[in-house]
C-alpha cells in the first residue's frame, strides 16, 4: 500500500514535470524548407515569411520565449504580428502559433514581456504569475491620415506560460499625448529598490522612462538623449548588470540607431551609467557600439533569467534596414544573431560590454578538427572534412611573432566569389570585405563598402571565435571585446577556407574547427 502510494506520487510528479515543458504537437508550427540555399542551420529563423526585431523575450519554468516582428503573409515587411517560439536551451527552437495579432487599435510593433512574479498587475495570482507583454500599437489608418499620435503603448497578458495571450481591455496604457510620430518599442524592467516597473520607450532621438506599480498605470519620469544626435532611436533596453570582478551594479541602456551606424545603415549601441529609479545618467557622452558589423539590429535582452544562472543574455535581428527586404531568400527572410551573453568589464576609468556566444552553443559541436600550429606565407588552405558554412572556428594568433602587416581569412567558391576578413597591424583594425561575395549584386548599399572596426593588435595573442552559418559570419575577438556580424549571399556555397598573410608571415599558435549540427532535425 505504502509503496504503491509512493509510486503513484512519483508518476504524478513525473507527469507534472512533463506537463511543464511539453509542447503539444498540434501547437507546433513546422519549419518550411530549412534546406533552402542561404538558410541558416543553427540560427533562429521564422518558419516562413518575414521577420524583423526580437520581441517579448522572457524565461519561465524551464522555457525561454522569443517573440518577433512577423508578417506571416509575405517575405517583405507588412502588418506586424508577434511570432512566437520557445526553447529549453536557447539553441533548439519550437515554433508556436502567432502570439499577438493586429486589432482595431493597430499593428503590433516591437516590445517586451516581463514575468510579473508578485502579480502586481492582478492578471494572475502569486501561485500562477502572469506574463505581461508591453508593445506598441501602430495605427496604420491614423498614420495614413497624417495624424501624429498613431503610436501608443498597450499590454497583453498570459496565465498559461505564454501559450495564449489576452489583450488588456483598457488599452492603450500610454496614449500618445505628446503627439510624437516615433513613440515606440516599450522595454520593461523591475527596479528592486523602488519596487516599481520601469519602461524605456524610444521617442524619436531620445529614450523616455515611465514607471508603474501595476504595469497598467504609467507615469513619465525622465528622458535621456545626447546632444547633437538627431538620428532615430529604436528598441531601447535598460537593465542592471554587475561589473565583472567588482561586484558593483551599473545600468546599461541599449539603443538601436536607425541611420549612419559606423558601417552604414542601422546598428545597436549602448551607454553605461547609473539609474536611481528616476533618471539614467550615462558615464560617457558618445554611444558605444555593441557590434561593429552591419547586421545586428534591435538587440535586446531576456527577462527573468534565474538568479542562480545570473547571465544577461540577448539576441539581435541579423539584418539591416538598408537592404533587409531584398536579400535573396525565398521562403523566409531574416535570421536572428546567436544568443549572446553580455558581460560588463572595467577598462581603465571606463566600463564596456563584452559579448560572447552563449555556452549552450557548444552542444552543437559534432567533432573537433585541430589545426596544427602554422607559419603562413602568402596563403594556406584549411583542409578537412567540414563545411566552411556550418562551423565554429577558434584561432589563436600571435601578433608579436607575426611579421605580416596584414593577415586574415578568406572564404571562396569556384566562381571566384569571396568574403575576406583582414586584420591590419598598421591601422589596428579589422575589416570585412563582402564587396565580391556574390555576382548577383542585389543592392548597392550591401556591396559598395568594405566594413571596418578598430581592434588593437598589440602585444597579447589575438583570440578569435568565428561562427559561420550559410549566409552569416559572427566574429568574437578577444573574448568578445569586439563583435562583428555580417551577412552574405554567394550564388554558390563557399567551399574553400584559407588563411593568408601579406608582407611577411602569420603565426597561428593554435586552431580548431568544430563542425556544427543543425538545430531543426536532431
268 binds ligand FRU (CB under 6 A): no
185 binds ligand FRU (CB under 6 A): yes
Out of 203, 298, 313, 508, which residue is the one contacting ligand FRU (CB under 6 A)? Answer: 298
Which is closer to ligand FRU, CB of 259 or CB of 441? Answer: 259
Out of 31, 51, 53, 480, which residue is the one contacting ligand FRU (CB under 6 A)? Answer: 53
Q: What are phi and psi of 265, to 5 degrees?
A: 70, -135
> Least distance from C-beta 102 to ligand FRU, angstroms?
12
Integer Cα distance of 485 and 432 in angstroms: 9
Out of 45, 69, 176, 287, which residue is the one contacting ligand FRU (CB under 6 A)? Answer: 69
The three cell numbers locating residue 70: 512577423
Which is closer to ligand FRU, CB of 172 or CB of 504? Answer: 172
> Least distance from C-beta 188 to ligand FRU, angstroms?
15
116 binds ligand FRU (CB under 6 A): no
Out of 41, 45, 110, 208, which residue is the one contacting ligand FRU (CB under 6 A)? Answer: 110
Segment holding 21, helix H or strand E:
helix 2-21
> Least distance from C-beta 69 to ligand FRU, angstroms?
4
SS3 16: helix
Out of 41, 52, 121, 304, which residue is the one contacting ligand FRU (CB under 6 A)? Answer: 52
Which is closer to ligand FRU, CB of 130 or CB of 236? Answer: 236
The three cell numbers locating residue 238: 535598460
303 binds ligand FRU (CB under 6 A): no
DSSP β-bridge partners for residue 511: 371, 395
Of 53, 237, 303, 433, the catalytic one is: 53
The three cell numbers locating residue 12: 504524478
Which is closer to ligand FRU, CB of 85 or CB of 397? Answer: 85
113 binds ligand FRU (CB under 6 A): no
DSSP β-bridge partners for residue 14: none
80 binds ligand FRU (CB under 6 A): yes
In 367-400, which positions are buried (b, 16+ CB within 10 angstroms) versus exposed (e)?
A: eebebeebebeeebebeeebbbbbbbbbbbbbbe
Which is closer to ligand FRU, CB of 136 or CB of 465? Answer: 136
Integer Cα distance of 196 and 208 in angstroms: 16
DSSP label at 181? S
**Sequence-distant (≥ 6) Cβ neighbours of residue 48 within 8 angstroms:** 31, 32, 33, 72, 331, 332
267 binds ligand FRU (CB under 6 A): no
Integer Cα distance of 244 and 190 in angstroms: 21
Which is closer to ligand FRU, CB of 10 or CB of 76? Answer: 76
> Least distance from C-beta 324 to ligand FRU, angstroms?
9
Q: What is the CA radius of gyration of the chain?
A: 24
> Least distance from C-beta 183 to ligand FRU, angstroms?
10
109 binds ligand FRU (CB under 6 A): yes
How crowded is residue 287: how many other Cβ atoms within 10 Å of its Cβ? 19
Using alpha carbons, select from 280, 125, 126, 277 the residue that is nearest to residue 212. Answer: 277
Distances (CA, A) of 462 to 229, 398, 440, 450, 493: 34, 6, 34, 22, 28
437 binds ligand FRU (CB under 6 A): no
The pairing of beta strand 166-167 with beta strand 151-158: antiparallel
Q: What are phi and psi of 299, to 5 degrees?
A: -65, 125
Out of 87, 120, 136, 437, which residue is the one contacting ligand FRU (CB under 6 A)? Answer: 136
> Least distance from C-beta 50 to ligand FRU, angstroms?
9
Q: How far apart are the first and last CA of the chain?
A: 42
392 binds ligand FRU (CB under 6 A): no
295 binds ligand FRU (CB under 6 A): no
Out of 116, 139, 234, 392, which residue is the one contacting ligand FRU (CB under 6 A)? Answer: 234
Is 122 in contact with 215 (CB distance < 8 Å)? Answer: no
- Interface with ligand FRU (CB under 6 A), residue total 12
199 binds ligand FRU (CB under 6 A): no
DSSP label at 445? H
Integer Cα distance of 155 and 181 in angstroms: 20
> Least distance from C-beta 131 to ligand FRU, angstroms?
20
DSSP β-bridge partners for residue 272: 252
Which is closer to ligand FRU, CB of 57 or CB of 298? Answer: 298
> Least distance from C-beta 295 to ligand FRU, angstroms?
13
Out of 235, 389, 430, 507, which residue is the one contacting ligand FRU (CB under 6 A)? Answer: 235
> Is 53 in the active site?
yes
> Least distance from C-beta 136 to ligand FRU, angstroms?
6
Return residues touching ligand FRU (CB under 6 A): 52-53, 69, 80, 109-110, 136, 184-185, 234-235, 298
Catalytic residue numbers read 53
Amino acid at each position: 500500500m505504502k509503496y504503491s502510494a509512493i509510486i503513484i506520487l512519483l508518476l504524478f510528479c513525473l507527469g507534472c514535470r512533463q506537463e511543464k515543458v511539453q509542447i503539444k504537437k498540434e501547437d507546433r508550427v513546422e519549419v518550411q524548407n530549412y534546406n533552402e540555399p542561404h538558410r541558416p542551420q543553427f540560427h533562429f529563423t521564422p518558419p516562413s515569411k518575414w521577420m524583423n526585431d526580437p520581441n517579448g523575450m522572457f524565461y519561465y519554468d524551464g522555457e525561454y520565449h522569443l517573440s518577433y516582428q512577423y508578417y506571416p503573409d509575405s517575405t517583405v515587411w507588412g502588418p506586424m504580428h508577434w511570432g512566437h517560439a520557445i526553447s529549453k536551451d536557447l539553441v533548439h527552437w519550437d515554433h508556436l502559433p502567432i502570439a499577438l495579432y493586429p486589432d482595431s487599435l493597430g499593428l503590433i510593433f516591437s516590445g517586451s514581456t516581463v514575468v510579473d512574479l508578485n502579480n502586481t498587475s492582478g492578471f494572475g495570482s502569486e501561485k500562477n504569475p502572469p506574463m505581461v507583454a508591453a508593445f506598441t500599437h501602430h495605427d496604420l489608418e491614423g498614420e495614413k491620415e497624417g495624424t501624429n499620435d498613431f503610436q501608443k503603448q498597450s499590454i497583453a497578458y498570459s496565465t498559461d506560460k505564454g501559450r495564449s495571450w489576452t489583450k488588456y481591455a483598457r488599452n492603450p496604457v500610454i496614449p500618445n499625448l505628446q503627439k510624437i510620430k516615433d513613440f515606440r518599442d516599450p522595454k520593461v524592467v523591475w527596479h528592486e529598490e523602488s519596487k516599481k516597473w520601469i519602461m524605456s520607450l524610444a521617442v524619436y532621438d531620445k529614450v523616455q522612462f515611465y514607471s508603474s506599480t501595476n504595469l497598467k498605470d504609467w507615469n513619465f519620469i525622465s528622458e535621456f538623449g545626447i546632444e547633437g544626435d538627431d538620428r532615430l532611436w529604436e528598441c531601447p533596453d535598460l537593465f542592471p548588470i554587475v561589473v565583472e570582478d567588482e561586484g558593483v551594479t551599473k545600468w546599461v541602456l541599449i539603443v538601436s540607431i536607425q541611420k549612419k551606424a559606423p558601417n552604414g545603415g542601422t546598428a545597436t549601441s549602448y551607454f553605461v551609467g547609473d539609474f536611481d529609479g528616476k533618471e539614467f545618467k550615462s558615464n560617457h557622452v558618445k554611444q558605444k557600439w555593441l557590434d561593429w558589423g552591419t547586421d545586428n539590429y534591435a538587440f535586446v535582452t531576456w527577462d527573468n533569467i534565474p538568479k542562480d544562472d545570473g547571465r544577461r543574455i540577448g539576441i539581435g535581428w541579423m539584418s539591416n534596414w538598408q537592404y533587409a527586404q531584398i536579400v535573396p531568400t525565398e521562403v523566409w527572410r531574416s535570421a536572428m544573431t546567436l544568443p549572446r551573453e553580455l558581460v560588463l568589464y572595467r577598462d581603465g576609468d571606463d566600463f564596456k560590454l563584452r559579448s560572447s556566444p552563449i555556452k549552450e552553443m557548444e552542444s552543437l559541436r559534432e567533432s573537433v578538427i585541430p589545426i596544427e600550429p602554422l607559419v603562413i606565407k602568402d596563403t594556406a588552405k584549411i583542409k578537412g572534412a567540414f563545411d566552411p558554412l556550418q562551423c565554429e572556428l577558434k584561432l589563436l594568433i600571435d601578433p608579436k611573432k607575426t611579421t605580416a602587416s596584414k593577415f586574415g581569412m578568406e572564404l571562396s567558391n569556384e566562381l571566384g566569389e569571396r568574403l575576406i576578413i583582414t586584420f591590419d597591424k598598421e591601422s589596428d583594425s579589422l575589416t570585412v570585405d563582402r564587396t565580391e561575395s556574390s555576382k548577383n549584386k542585389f543592392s548597392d548599399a550591401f556591396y559598395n563598402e568594405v566594413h571596418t572596426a578598430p581592434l588593437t593588435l598589440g602585444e597579447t595573442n589575438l583570440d578569435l571565435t568565428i561562427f559561420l552559418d550559410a549566409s552569416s559570419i559572427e566574429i568574437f575577438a578577444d573574448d568578445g571585446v569586439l563583435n562583428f556580424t555580417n551577412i552574405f549571399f554567394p550564388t554558390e556555397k563557399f567551399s574553400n577556407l584559407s588563411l593568408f598573410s601579406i608582407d611577411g608571415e602569420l603565426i597561428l599558435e593554435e586552431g580548431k574547427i568544430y563542425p556544427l549540427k543543425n538545430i531543426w532535425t536532431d
